[in-house]
Structure 1
Amino acid sequence: MIEISFGKMLLLALIALLVLGPEKLPGAARTAGALIRRVRNTWDSVRTEVERELEIEEIKRTAREAAARAEAAQAQMNATAREVREAVGSVTAAPVPATEPEPELAHARLPGEPTDGDDEPPPERDTRTGDLFADDPEHAPVKEHPHGIA
């Protein structure tokens, strides 16, 4: 802004005293101070508003760059997904030779698993305990002796 030294201020005060006189000088000084304060506040608010607008523009620029990077990543991901689909399609399009199950695993089945009709029925569940192997002595639970003796 305007640079005013102490000497210039003293010279202005002396000229104001001679022009205005001692009666009007305090009121004129208050008016001049209020005017300078108002100009300074206006200048500060304009500067703050310009800085705020610059920050907003910086944020918008950063957001646009991030959106562009996200779009590029999305496009790359779509291209990769398309390549994977094409690769999977070419692999699944080839006929897969049928293999026979291994003989020892052909009849293996979990308890309760549905059968194809020619095997024995699934074991019955014990209604009191919910145990599938209630009738099978091989899988029967071990009952402990009340005194801890096996």
Structure 2
Amino acid sequence: MIDIGITKLAIIGGIALVVIGPEKLPGLAKTVGTLLGRARRYVADVKSEVNRSMELDEFKKMKDSVESAARDVENSIQTSTADFEKSWADATGLAAESHFTDASPVFPEYKHPKKKWRVKLGATPRWYKARTGTRTNAMSGAARVARYRPSKVS
């Protein structure tokens, strides 16, 4: 790499002081510091993105291995159930009827509930509404204002 010691930095600083001048040197140092900070942040972002992509690849490999293990377990369970059903059918002497066939389910026939949907059986009686003060007739806002407006007193 580049071997920069204290003496070389002092020489570079002296030359910069002579070439740029003492008035502009603090502003230039601030600009250089800002640019170095941005560069460091950019490098850190790139590093974190690379690390994230590496972790993502590791997770994908782990997911694939778990899925293959699950498939292996599923296949072994299916073969063991098939062997069990076969041995059960041989031992009991029954035909090899599987309870896990894809036959369509049988639903009971639909019966109409014999409900009279036009008759409102649970309606509240008018006398109860009158006693409790429930409104029986809908009234628009304008009609309500006109009806209950206080009379003009001169």
TM-score range, shorter chain: 0.5 to 0.7
1:35 aligns with 2:58: no
Question: Displacement, 1:62?
Answer: 0.5
More divergent stretch after superposition (3-12 vs 45-54):
3-12
> Cα–Cα, structure 1 residues 8 and 72, in superposed 2: closer, same or farther, change >3 Å?
farther
Partner of 1:90: 90
Aligned residues: 94
Question: Displacement, 1:8?
Answer: 3.6
Partner of 1:9: 9
Report SS of the residue matched to 2:71: helix
Q: Give me the identity figure in percent.
A: 32
Aligned residue identity for 1:29: A
Partner of 1:81: 81
Aligned residue identity for 1:39: A
**Which portions of structure 1, spanning 4 or more consecutive aligned residues, are displaced by more than 6 angstroms?**
none
- Over the aligned positions, Cα root-mean-square deviation in angstroms equals 2.0
Question: Displacement, 1:48?
Answer: 0.7
Partner of 1:18: 18
User: Alpha-carbon deviations, 1:39-93, whole Å to 9, x = none?
Assistant: 0000001101111111111111111110110001100111111111111111111
Q: Distance in 2 between matches of 1:30 and 1:77?
A: 70
Q: Distance in 2 between matches of 1:5 and 1:37?
A: 22
Q: Distance in 1 between matches of 2:86 and 2:8?
A: 84
Partner of 1:52: 52
Question: Displacement, 1:3?
Answer: 6.9
Q: TM-score, normalised by structure 1?
A: 0.57
Q: Distance in 1 between matches of 2:11 and 2:93?
A: 99
Q: Which blocks of at least 5 consecutive residues in structure 1 are unaligned? A: 95-150
**Structure number with larger C-alpha Rg:** 1
Q: Distance in 2 between matches of 1:48 and 1:92?
A: 65
Q: Distance in 2 between matches of 1:48 and 1:20?
A: 38
> Cα–Cα, structure 1 residues 3 and 53, in superposed 2: closer, same or farther, change >3 Å?
farther
More divergent stretch after superposition (85-94 vs 39-48):
85-94
